[in-house]
Amino acid sequence: MQMKAAAVLAAVALTRVEANDATPIEKVLQMIGGLQGKIVGEGNDAQKVYDEFSEFCEDRSRNLGFEIKTGKQGVSDATAAVAKEAATQASLNAKIEELAAAIGVDEADLAAATGIRAKENAAFVAEEKELTEVIGTLERAISIIEKEMKGGASMMQLKSVNSVAQALTVMVEATSLSTADASKLTALLQNSQEDSSEELGAPAGATFTSSSGGIVGTLQDLFDKAENQLAEARATETKSVQAFQMLAAGLKDEIKYANADLNKAKKGVAASAEAQATAQGDLDVTSKDLSEDTATLGTLHQDCMNGAEDFEAETRSRGEELKALATAKKVIVEATSGAADQSYSFLQTASSLSSGADLANFEAVRFVRDLAQKQNSPALAQLASKMAQAMRAGSSTSDPFAKVKSLISGMIEKLLAEAQTDATEKAFCDKEMAETEAKKADKESDIEKLSTSIDSMSAKSAKLKEQVAELEAQLAALASTQAEADKIRAEEKGAFDVNSAEMEKGVKGIQLALKVLNDYYAKADKSHSSADGAGGGIIGLLEVVESDFSKGLAEMQATEQSAVSDYNKLSKANEIEKATKSQDAKYKSKEAKGLAKSTAEANGDRSTVQSELDAVNEYYTGIKGRCIAKAETYAERVSRRTAEIAGLKEALSILAGEAVLLQKTTKHMFLGVH
């Protein structure tokens, strides 16, 4: 019992000595082990940093790829929008020029018509005034003559006259008629005689027996003729006013609607120019962003390759350093074990101290066996068994603790190796689980984004196809309208060609007849007065017919010109509308095809990402089975293994304490002997 207590006290004392007085070899090995741990820690930290850097490169490269693809599509869309707005502006500018020219023509026509109307009205006013005065004068003269015929003072003088002019002179002298009225009547009579080829001053003869009645008849004829001329002049003026009003109203309406269309076209040009400027700005910004993204992607690839090369070089360097340290450690352990035992061992083989060593060995075996039972560790139980066998097989000439200490140290190293392996597995599982879950989330997010983009592009493509179909239907209706207009114009022109030819033929025939009659009566004998009067009536009637034919031809030509103008305007408007709608349909079709292509590419991308996600899910299932489905958690294993290592170290401490005690005893014995 006393020896056992002494062994325990010696073990405690020896533990303190070993803590402060490690051998140089042990210190070297400890330093190598510490350096190895530091290098391994640095490698783990570098691996973590590189994993984060690699993940950043992958994510950034993928995002830049999407941004570049989106940028290319944006550049294509903006370019198409700029071209579309340029075409729209060209079409609207052509329409503006046409409308401005049409407005100028209509305004010139209105001004010319207004000027002609003013001249016609002035001539009518003057003619109406003159005829009114003539009618008044004739009324007064007829009234005076009729009064004198009933027994006036001038009756005798009037009976003696032989011409209307002399009668007017008599009436002036009798103050029955004013000199001014007489002058007007004389001039009127002279004009009438010149027009009818009669001589006013011819002898009356028997026809003037009742001269006053002849004068009254002549004046009455003049009165009727003046009234007819006045009525005709007023009727002509009324028709001219109505025609001018209709023409002016039509021109003003055309000018009004043309100005409205012109303002609308100008606003359309301004809006299109603004839209083009916006599209050009978007194109510039998108092109710049695309260039920057492309350059950034190239730089990113180079930086990531450089980072990978640096990490590979550092990892290779650490591996070489760890290999060198392990080799050095192995060489030190294998080559210096004997020298260390000779230089630093405190134990001397002595047969008298074998009982204390046995006691320490048994104490260490018992401690390890108790630790195995406490931790329920088959490995420790097996170690205790091996320690007992080594103790029984030990000889008096060998170190009584060497074999047992070697077994305990081997078990400690094994547990440390298992701990390192388990820690590596834990780090591997944590890293792989986190990375796999992150990749899984990224792939699912990419699929969701691609699905949203595909749905959006599909909807937009369908909308564009509907718009293209509607535009094509409108173009078909426009073509039908233009064909109908062409048909009507052809029919109108055919009718005009026939009718105008007939009308021109009639006018020329009337003009030829008039020329023949005029030439004949100009050369005819004046004795044929009755025939001459009938010929004059025929000529007058032919002149009226010529006027009617000429007027009808002019109206026919005006109607044809108006129809041609309306047809040209309609055709031009249809042409502009056709160009605009065709261009719009072209760009919308192009945009729809581009969307279809992008949708197909996006579907391909989604299929690729789905395949990657399936692979990630498959790997994720495997890694969960490896890292999660464990009967004992990592924390439990660490706690158990820590307790086992601590217990084994304590067993070593027991053996070390007994060795110190044996060393002191040996020294005392040697001193006593000498």
pLDDT digits over 288-310, tens only? Answer: 988 988 889 888 888 888 888 88
At 434 the pLDDT is 85
Confidence grade of residue 238 (pLDDT, cut at 50, 70, 90)? very high
Task: Give the total residue count for the chain.
Answer: 674
Q: What percent of the chain has pLDDT over 70?
A: 70
Which pair of tokens denotes residue 347? Answer: 């134990």
Distance CA 281, CA 294 (A): 20
The helix (H) or strand (E) run that includes residue 530 is helix 529-627
363 φ/ψ angles, rounded to the nearest 5 degrees: -65, -40
Decide which of 94 and 408 is more confident. 94
- DSSP SS3 for 61: helix
Decide which of 274 and 320 is more confident. 274
- For residue 422, CA distances in Å to 45, 145, 425, 432, 636 come to 18, 154, 5, 15, 12
Which residues have C-beta within 8 Å of that of residue 135, sequence separation ≥ 6?
A: 223, 226, 227, 230
pLDDT digits (tens, 9 = 90+) for 432-447: 888 888 888 988 888 9
Distance CA 74, CA 104 (A): 45
Are 652 and 13 within 8 A, CB to CB? no
Distance CA 396, CA 351 (A): 6
pLDDT score of 162 more than 70: no
Half-sphere exposure of 429 (CA within 13 A, CB side): 18
Are 230 and 135 within 8 A, CB to CB? yes
Decide which of 619 and 21 is more confident. 619
Are 610 and 96 within 8 A, CB to CB? no
pLDDT score of 5 more than 60: no
* Average of per-residue pLDDT across 95-112: 91
Q: What is the DSSP letter of 527?
A: T
pLDDT digits (tens, 9 = 90+) for 445-501: 889 998 998 998 899 889 988 999 999 999 999 899 999 989 999 998 999 999 989
Distance CA 295, CA 428 (A): 36
Are 283 and 82 within 8 A, CB to CB? yes
Distance CA 332, CA 26 (A): 10
Closest to 189 measured CA to CA, from 225, 213, 145, 227: 225
Distance CA 545, CA 540 (A): 9
Decide which of 257 and 411 is more confident. 257
Q: First CA to last CA across the chain, in angstroms? A: 31
At 673 the pLDDT is 34
pLDDT score of 403 more than 70: no
User: Which of 281-285, 312-316, 351-355, 596-600 is the least confident region?
Assistant: 351-355
Which pair of tokens denotes residue 481? Answer: 């309208």
User: Which of 47-56, 182-191, 253-262, 539-548 is the least confident region?
Assistant: 182-191
Closest to 261 measured CA to CA, from 576, 579, 561: 576
Matching residue, tokens 């140290």? 409
Confidence grade of residue 647 (pLDDT, cut at 50, 70, 90)? confident
At 125 the pLDDT is 94
Summarize the chain as % helix, strand, coil (round to 5): 90, 0, 10
Closest to 84 measured CA to CA, from 290, 287, 278: 278
Q: What is the DSSP letter of 400?
A: T
User: Which of 8-22, 163-177, 551-565 is the least confident region?
Assistant: 8-22
Long-range contacts of 669-672 (CB under 8 A, 24+ apart): 669/350, 669/352
Decide which of 96 and 142 is more confident. 96
Are 251 and 113 within 8 A, CB to CB? yes
Are 361 and 12 within 8 A, CB to CB? no
At 358 the pLDDT is 58
pLDDT score of 342 more than 60: no
At 332 the pLDDT is 64
Which residues have C-beta within 8 Å of that of residue 392, sequence separation ≥ 6?
A: none
135 φ/ψ angles, rounded to the nearest 5 degrees: -60, -40
Confidence grade of residue 317 (pLDDT, cut at 50, 70, 90)? confident
At 19 the pLDDT is 43
Confidence grade of residue 159 (pLDDT, cut at 50, 70, 90)? low
Distance CA 600, CA 448 (A): 16
**3-class secondary structure for 140-156?**
HHHHHHHHHHCCCCCHH
User: Which of 75-89, 269-283, 349-363, 394-408 is the least confident region?
Assistant: 349-363
At 670 the pLDDT is 34
pLDDT score of 118 more than 90: yes
User: Which of 271-280, 362-371, 395-404, 656-665 is the least confident region?
Assistant: 656-665
pLDDT score of 272 more than 60: yes
Are 368 and 384 within 8 A, CB to CB? yes
CA atoms 314, 315, 319, 320: torsion sign: negative
Decide which of 153 and 93 is more confident. 93
Q: What's the CA angle centered on 122, arms 120 and 125, to 5 degrees?
A: 110
At 648 the pLDDT is 74
Closest to 402 measured CA to CA, from 28, 669, 662, 30: 662
Which pair of tokens denotes residue 352? Answer: 């008298």
